[in-house]
Structure 1
Amino acid sequence: MEPGIVERVLRYVDAELLVELTRSLIRIDSVYRPERGTGEAGVARYVTELLEAWGFSVRVEEAAPGRPNVLAELCGTREGKTLLFEAHSDVVTEGDASLWTYPPFEGVVVDNRIYGRGACDTKGNLAAAMVALKAIKDAAADFGGRILLAVPVDEEGLMIGIKKMIESGWCNEVDGAIICEPEENQLCIAQKGALRIGIRAHGKMAHGAIPRAGINPITPVCRMVARLAELERSEGAHHGEDPLVGWPSITPTIFLAPPSGEPQINVIPNQAYVTLDVRTTPRQDHGFLKEAVLNIAREEADKVPGLRVETAVIDDRPCTYTPPDDPVVQAAAEAVRLVTGREPQYNGVPGATDGTFLWAWKGIPIVTFGAGKREVPHQVDEYVDIPELIETARLYAAAAMIFLSTRR
């Protein structure tokens, strides 16, 4: 690596641009709500136009109608490794906007913080990656290989964006990936696995005053949920707390009865539907858990004559782990030392990210880090601290140069 190149690149990290870019991204409502006409397309269009204006090569491909992925490329002066930055374009719903102190899609700055949906998850980190790549380009840094910036859709859903990128071959030559997520700039080298399971109980509609004329699906589904809480406790006692990703969990997240149509207080619904968000640690067996959930559902359904139950695995994502001595983790660690003067802190992601599929489907080593407190995403008054965000952009720029300076 050219002597002093990292320090020169860091001088080109534009803090003012970073703040304004983050605010601009927040102002684009990218919650996927086709009924309202919102989604990731606005962010994709804005990012594409800006990156092209900065001189990057950009490709766009729809993962689904109206849901475009973006991939930008910066090539070095010679052959070498490929580093991928990944930051998704979608955000979760703001919920009840009246509960927010500041409007969720305005990117308000108060007391050195940027407020808004996506401020830390992950539009601030997307902006940090863009500014880091621009700094490398503007500094005319001499490096081998290439840097890719992936901006996929639907990370907050079923991750169809990153799946499409992988299927299309966009990630075939990647040697390491930095996943841009809010982790307080701790280097996360492990991620929890995830199982999403739906349970649907079919009963018989009847008058609430004459319950024996129907088959009420609500009570057996409630018993299933109670037994799943016991399963969660049993799994926790058996496997314990993982040092990086914490405790396993089985969390009911949606309960609908009836799942469609209008509910009424004096009507027994014909169906009840519950979804489970199961988060696993490396020692757990997904096959065992799927079978355990199925058995609980069947056993409780068998206690109610005429009740029929269906279970469906909606998504299955493995745990991931990248060793601390992997080159992409080492590059991130050296960047932390160089930029902050601190020793890196290692941790694990409490959920799954798009990096799950890069690791599981393509064997790409990943490290996840970025600005933002871990507890803040998906909450009212989401924010990111500006000094930490600037630090993140500098870390991304330094990590890229360090990673690309080493041989395959």
Structure 2
Amino acid sequence: MSDMYEKIVSSTEDYARDICEFACELIKTESLSGNEKGVAALVADKMRELGFDDVTVDPMGNVRGSVGTGKTLIAADGHMDTVGAGNREQWTRPPFSGDQDDTCLYGRGASDMKAAIASMVYAGKVLRDLSLTDQFTYMVCATVQEEPCEGLAWEYLIENEGVSPDVVIIAEPSDDRISLAQKGRMELKISVTGQSAHASAPHMGDNAIYAMAKIVSELEALSTSLTIEDEDLGKGTLVVSEMISGAPSRSSVADYCELTIDRRLTWGESPQYALEQVKELPSVQAARATVEFHTFEEPSYTGLIPCKECTFPAWKIEKDHVVTRSTVKAYEGLFNTPPTLTTWPFSTNGVAIMGKHGIPVIGYGPGVIAACHVPNEYVEKKQVLRATMMYAAMCATYAAEINKEGVSHAQPV
């Protein structure tokens, strides 16, 4: 282990108790999407307390804090919002207790992803203490509304706030592995209009549910016959996730039916390609159904109301990319063992950062997927500390690599 990595490990261990206590404080503060204000205040206050050079809360409610003055900008992303607690009777501990023991932190958001935010913030403190930021600026981005609309906050940061990092670390849970890709996603709405009639004379009407049933059957067949396959991400998927219908009464023929499709997009599939697949189904055409993208228009906690088409492109970074190589080097330097490279099955803010805007993204974060969105969510303290070490080491190593190679704004695949 080189001297720099030894210092990062030692400094992180000095702050081990503080990191975990801050994570627990975040867990105790409920922050459903659209209600992240309390967590945003805690994050901003902590960054100021730790001596960050600049702390900003933008009009959408995202919190940004930076350390360093170097021209290379490296950002770390973690979303502040969580899903709901669900059935609290299924929790061994109260979901917002922020309990901890010798090995784990517990509560909603522990793994997804408040412990990661604590790691991101304290990585800035470690970098500042060790005076490692001459060649780069490290920016922590604690973002809003990821759970219902991933990428939304980063579209705002890039397109409205002018934030343009050289690389972004996505701190979603990766079980101590390095993630190089994720599938894209989109939400489609299919609407069918029929003709109501009295249920005693159904032949006088046109049942929208029956027309939709034929569409559902063809969608199921389509879901098993998708052909585009990527060696890392595999094939896409198609799931009918919601359905509603309407009729003048329970004794009437349904005159309206609507369903939602969650379509996961592998590398090589675009939202428009997947949209046309559905539009071309014989049952869709026979029913003269409307097929369109859902839009997201829920206000942030500041009151800002977005209008986002629910399309989220895939992203992938190559194994020989300078971002990947420097991340692997940082892991080996810290832990004296090669890392495992993986891909994420879920969607992240990377859909906007790299999928839409082409800014290189790589993933590493504390926690396991199996602990997310379930009762008794937890994260291992060991992984939280390793993540803090990694964020600091990834920044220093990446900056050194691009300076050595003369690279500026490394290009994505």
Q: Same fold (TM over 0.5)?
A: yes
What is the distance in 2 between the residues matched to 1:302 and 1:9?
Answer: 61
- Aligned-pair CA distance for 1:209: 4.8
Residue among 330, 347, 350 paired with 1:352: 347
Residue among 380, 384, 390 paired with 1:385: 380
CA contact (8 A) 1:10 1:397 kept: no
Residue among 234, 247, 256 paired with 2:244: 256
SS in 2 for 1:108: coil
- Aligned-pair CA distance for 1:257: 2.4
- Aligned-pair CA distance for 1:331: 2.0
What is the distance in 1 between the residues matched to 2:32 and 2:241?
Answer: 19
Q: What is aligned with 1:366?
A: 361
Instruction: Specify the code of the residue in structure 1 equivalent to 2:279.
Output: L
Residue among 335, 349, 357 paired with 1:340: 335
What is the distance in 1 between the residues matched to 2:91 and 2:249?
Answer: 32
- Aligned-pair CA distance for 1:162: 1.1
What is the distance in 1 between the residues matched to 2:55 and 2:159?
Answer: 18
Deviation >4 Å, runs of 4+: 205-210, 263-269, 301-304
Cα deviation digits, residues 66-85 of structure 1 (max 9, x gap): xx011111114xx4411111
Q: 1:80 to 1:378 in 2, by over 3 A?
A: same
Task: Answer yes or no: is 1:73 the counterpart of 2:69.
Answer: no
Cα deviation digits, residues 250-307 of structure 1 (max 9, x gap): 012222224xx9x9755544422211111111133543321111222xx325656xxx
Q: What is aligned with 1:101?
A: 92
Task: Answer yes or no: is 1:137 the counterpart of 2:128.
Answer: yes
SS in 2 for 1:12: helix
Q: 1:264 to 1:402 in 2, by over 3 A?
A: farther
Instruction: Specify the code of the residue in structure 2 equivalent to 1:277.
Output: D
Equivalenced residue count is 383
Q: 1:193 to 1:405 in 2, by over 3 A?
A: same
Q: 1:269 to 1:16 in 2, by over 3 A?
A: farther
Residue among 392, 395, 399 paired with 1:397: 392
Task: Answer yes or no: is 1:50 the counterpart of 2:43.
Answer: no
Q: What is aligned with 1:331?
A: 326
Q: What is aligned with 2:266?
A: 281
- Aligned-pair CA distance for 1:360: 3.3
What is the distance in 1 between the residues matched to 2:249 and 2:113?
Answer: 40
What is the distance in 2 between the residues matched to 1:114 and 1:103?
Answer: 12
**1:9-408 mapped onto 2 (5 Å cutoff):** 9-13=8-12, 14-32=15-33, 39-56=35-52, 57-63=54-60, 68-76=61-69, 79-110=70-101, 112-141=103-132, 143-158=134-149, 159-172=151-164, 174-235=165-226, 238-240=227-229, 242-258=230-246, 266=251, 268-296=253-281, 299-300=282-283, 303=286, 309-314=289-294, 315-406=310-401, 407=403, 408=407
Instruction: Specify the code of the residue in structure 2 equivalent to 1:201.
Output: V
- Aligned-pair CA distance for 1:208: 4.5
SS in 2 for 1:375: helix
Q: 1:139 to 1:6 in 2, by over 3 A?
A: same
For the aligned residue pairs, the C-alpha RMSD in angstroms reads 2.3
CA contact (8 A) 2:92 2:376 kept: yes
Q: 1:117 to 1:205 in 2, by over 3 A?
A: farther
Unaligned segments of structure 2, at least 5 residues: 295-309, 408-413
TM-score normalised to structure 1 length: 0.86
What is the distance in 2 between the residues matched to 1:284 and 1:390?
Answer: 37
SS in 2 for 1:155: coil
Q: Relative to structure 2, which stretch is displaced further, 139-148 or 9-18?
A: 139-148
Instruction: Specify the code of the residue in structure 2 equivalent to 1:10.
Output: V
What is the distance in 1 between the residues matched to 2:130 and 2:255?
Answer: 65
- Aligned-pair CA distance for 1:178: 0.6
Instruction: Specify the code of the residue in structure 2 equivalent to 1:11.
Output: S
CA contact (8 A) 2:152 2:352 kept: no
Q: What is aligned with 2:301?
A: none
What is the distance in 2 between the residues matched to 1:147 and 1:109?
Answer: 29
Q: Relative to structure 2, which stretch is displaced further, 196-205 or 51-60?
A: 196-205
Q: 1:206 to 1:12 in 2, by over 3 A?
A: farther
Cα deviation digits, residues 151-193 of structure 1 (max 9, x gap): 1211112232111101124422x21111110111211111111
Instruction: Specify the code of the residue in structure 2 equivalent to 1:218.
Output: I
Q: 1:29 to 1:203 in 2, by over 3 A?
A: farther
